[in-house]
Structure 1
Amino acid sequence: MRVLYFSDTFLPKTDGVAVSIKNFSELLSLRGHEFTICAPRYGEGDFDRMGQNIQVVRFRSGYLPSYPDIKVVLPSPGKIKKVIEDFQPDLIHIHTPGLLGLYAINAAERFGIPTIGTYHTLMAEQEMYVSFYRLFKLDKLFFKINKFKKKMNIEDLDKFVKFDNFNIRKKIILKICNDLYNRCDVVISPSHLIKKQLADYGITRPVTVVSNGMDLKRFTGVVKSFDSDAPKVLHVGRISYEKNCDVVINAFKLIHEKYPKATLTIIGEGPAIPSLQRQAEHLGLSGSVIFTGFVPNAELHEVYPKYDLFLTASTMETQGLVVLEAIACGLPAVGVDSFALPELIQHEKNGYIAPAFDVKQLADLSIKLLSDGKKYSEFSKNSIEIASGHEMEKCVDEMEDIYRKVIEAMKGKAKKQSLFDMFLDLV
């Protein structure tokens, strides 16, 4: 099979989407399938091949002022047309509902190519990045002012958030995403809980579940024990506003009151780091909250086992790759009751689930877990068991089967040509 991927995010930028694309394309290419990956151009660190059967085509892009890590791919219909004509794909697989995803679905319809879309990211939950106060970087201005005016605090910035928190923005983003995914032949959800959510969101296309998978030969855990007055708490991921790391730090403040020798390590990079560093300082936790910056995924399997508890307050996970990595390494976890997290962090089985944004509950449940050595080891054992259901090779088998079935079912798919397409042909 020849499969054409489109994604508005990819390596060298590392996130869950990029890791998923890399894993599936590499493992499927070893089975003889060919891939072309259409992705943004980042500059330093870009590459155009991943082995013999995988080529990467880069597209010119700008960036979102409120989040420079998000690339906005500039229109390149002629280049996409050439990629399709040269590669002759059997299937198009769209991984993001951004502009490159939109260009992809238009091209797929024009050429009559079967199309799959994976719902990796709940874009409507990231509507904050198109809010006026972050587009105009008022959050950065706040922290510059705050250096000189110590009476100001984190709550002052929240006033901007509340003022700009219009549901209309979220509804517009949701409609844009739905319009794209409802034009795909099949939609893939990384978890069963998100599959249910997509129906509520208004997705009408057939939805099938395929986990992003985990290399359990690398992320291999042993049952852990805990009996210490210095717990090492861990959070890993993209350090952006929607991940609610501020809630994690506030919860850790309460954990720290119970365990004064406790530490919280935050691994990752992103636009929220300056505000979180200021928050930790404001709470008197500068020596106990450690920001490591980016750690390559190739090293993470050696990092997780050094910690005692994984803590997250993210309310927008479609699966939670870092959570899966953590529990595969035997860590108990505490998270929030939102989207896919309860599928990996199972309440009273391998950790605890608190209500979203409930700082005290997150802290109390973390302390409860750390205070019971017997339950801690039981939860560690269960984490490894839960992760075992996400073995990468099994997920690759499922994806390959879906590809074959969609290609077969959509043979002779009708082409749709717009006036714009005809204009491009003339040009």
Structure 2
Amino acid sequence: MRVLYFSDTFLPKTDGVAVSIKNFSELLSLRGHEFTICAPRYGEDDFERMGDQIHVIRFRSGFLPSYPDIKVVLPSPGKIKKVIEDFKPDLIHIHTPGLMGLYAVNAAERFGIPTIGTYHTLMAEQEMYVSFYRLFKMDKLFLKINKFKKKLNLDELDKLVKFDNFNIRKKIILKICNDIYNRCDVVISPSHLIKKQLVEYGIHRPITVVSNGMDLKRFTGKVKSFSGDEPKFLHVGRISYEKNCDVVINAFKEITKTYPKATLTIIGEGPAIDSLKRQAEHLEIAPSVHFTGFVPNAQLHEIYPKYDLFLTASTMETQGLVVLEAIACGLPAVGVDSFALPELIQNEKNGYIAPPFDVAMLAKLSIQLLSNPSTYKTFSKNSLDIASGHEMGRCVDEMESVYEKVIEAMKGKEKKSSLFDMLMDFM
């Protein structure tokens, strides 16, 4: 098979989407399949090949003022047309509902190519990045103004964003995403809970569940025990506002009242780091909260086993690769009841689930877990068991099967003309 990937994010920028693309393309290429990956251009660390069977084509891009890590790929209809004519893909696989996803679905319809879309990211839950005050960087202005104050006005602004659960921006973004995915022949969800959510969102195309998977030969652990008074908490991931790391830090403040020697390590980088560091200072727990910055995924499997409990308050996970990595290394976890998290953090089995944004409950459940050595050990064992169901080889088998079935079912797919076609012809 020749598979053409389209994504608005990819290596060298590391996130869950990029890791998934890398894993599936590399492992499927070992089975003889060929891949071309269309992705944004980042800079000098860009590369054009991942082995003989995987070619990466970069597209000119700008960035979103409120989140420079998010690339906005500039229109290149002529280049996309040439990629398709040269590569002759059997299948197009869309990984993001941004501009690359839009270009991809338009091109797929123009050429009559079977199309799959994976719903990696709940874009409607990231609408804060197109809010007025973040687009114009007013959040940074508030940080500077409040540098010497104990209370951050920015926190109040963040609350307005977090608790405005379905405002007009979310509706617009949701419609854009639905329009793209409902033009795919099949939609892939990384988890069963997200599949249900997509139906509620209005996705009416066939949805199949394929986990992003985990290399359990690398992310592997043993049953852990804990009975001390110096617990080590860990949070890993993109340090962006929708991950709600501020909730984790507030909960950790409460935890230190029971465990004064506890530490919290936050691994990752992103636009929320400055405000989180300021928050730790105001809460007078800065010496116990360690920000490591970016750590390559190749090193993470050595880091997870050094900690006692994984803590997350994210309310927008479609699967949660870092959670999967953590439990694969034997860590119990405490998270929130939102989207896919309860599928990996199973309440009272390998951890606890608190209501979203409930700082007191997040802290209480963490303390409860750590204070019971027998429960802790059982939860650690169960984490390993839950992670075993996401073994990468099995997930690759499932993805390959989906590819084959869609290609076979969509033979002779009807071609559709649009304004996009005229642009490609002109170019």
TM-score (norm 1): 0.98
1:27 matched residue in structure 2 = 27
1:58 and 1:426 map into 2 onto residues whose CA distance is 21
Q: 1:52 to 1:248 in 2, by over 3 A?
A: same
1:402 matched residue in structure 2 = 402
Q: Residue 162 of structure 1 is aligned with which of 152, 160, 164?
A: 160
TM alignment of 1:25-424, pairs within 5 A = 25-148=25-148, 150=149, 153-159=151-157, 162=160, 165=164, 167-424=167-424
Q: CA offsets per residue over residues 243-276 of structure 1, 9 Å max, x none?
A: 0000000000010110000000000000000000
Q: CA offsets per residue over residues 49-105 of structure 1, 9 Å max, x none?
A: 000000000000000000000000000000000000000000000000000110000
Q: How many residues align?
A: 425
| Residue type of the alignment partner of 1:17 | V
The alignment partner of 1:11 has SS state of coil
Moved more, 133-142 or 153-162: 153-162
The alignment partner of 1:63 has SS state of strand
1:163 and 1:403 map into 2 onto residues whose CA distance is 39
Deviation of the 1:159 alpha carbon = 3.6
Deviation of the 1:163 alpha carbon = 7.8
Q: CA offsets per residue over residues 6-61 of structure 1, 9 Å max, x none?
A: 00000000000000000000000000000000000000210000000000000000
The alignment partner of 2:147 has SS state of helix
2:319 and 2:393 map into 1 onto residues whose CA distance is 18
Q: 1:292 to 1:416 in 2, by over 3 A?
A: same
| Residue type of the alignment partner of 1:47 | F
Deviation of the 1:420 alpha carbon = 4.2
1:414 and 1:92 map into 2 onto residues whose CA distance is 15
Q: 1:36 to 1:235 in 2, by over 3 A?
A: same
1:174 and 1:159 map into 2 onto residues whose CA distance is 22
| Residue type of the alignment partner of 1:247 | V
2:231 and 2:161 map into 1 onto residues whose CA distance is 38
| Residue type of the alignment partner of 1:417 | S
| Residue type of the alignment partner of 1:84 | I
| Residue type of the alignment partner of 2:270 | G
Do the aligned residues in 2 keep the contact of 1:345 with 1:353 (CA within 8 Å)?
yes
Deviation of the 1:423 alpha carbon = 4.8
Deviation of the 1:114 alpha carbon = 0.1
| Residue type of the alignment partner of 1:12 | P
Q: 1:426 to 1:364 in 2, by over 3 A?
A: closer
Deviation of the 1:156 alpha carbon = 4.8
Give 5+ residue unaligned stretches, structure 2.
none
Q: 1:292 to 1:426 in 2, by over 3 A?
A: closer
1:20 and 1:77 map into 2 onto residues whose CA distance is 26
Runs of 4+ in 1 over 4 A off after TM superposition: 163-166
Q: 1:92 to 1:169 in 2, by over 3 A?
A: same
Deviation of the 1:425 alpha carbon = 1.6
The alignment partner of 1:147 has SS state of coil
Deviation of the 1:145 alpha carbon = 1.0
C-alpha RMSD of matched pairs (Å): 1.2
The alignment partner of 1:36 has SS state of strand
Deviation of the 1:160 alpha carbon = 6.7
Q: 1:423 to 1:66 in 2, by over 3 A?
A: closer
| Residue type of the alignment partner of 1:59 | F
TM-score (norm 2): 0.98
2:376 and 2:402 map into 1 onto residues whose CA distance is 39
Deviation of the 1:421 alpha carbon = 1.5
1:161 and 1:363 map into 2 onto residues whose CA distance is 20
The alignment partner of 1:326 has SS state of helix
| Residue type of the alignment partner of 2:152 | I
2:147 and 2:312 map into 1 onto residues whose CA distance is 28
Q: 1:419 to 1:312 in 2, by over 3 A?
A: closer
1:178 and 1:124 map into 2 onto residues whose CA distance is 10
Identity of aligned residues (%): 83
Deviation of the 1:211 alpha carbon = 0.2
Give 5+ residue unaligned stretches, structure 1.
none
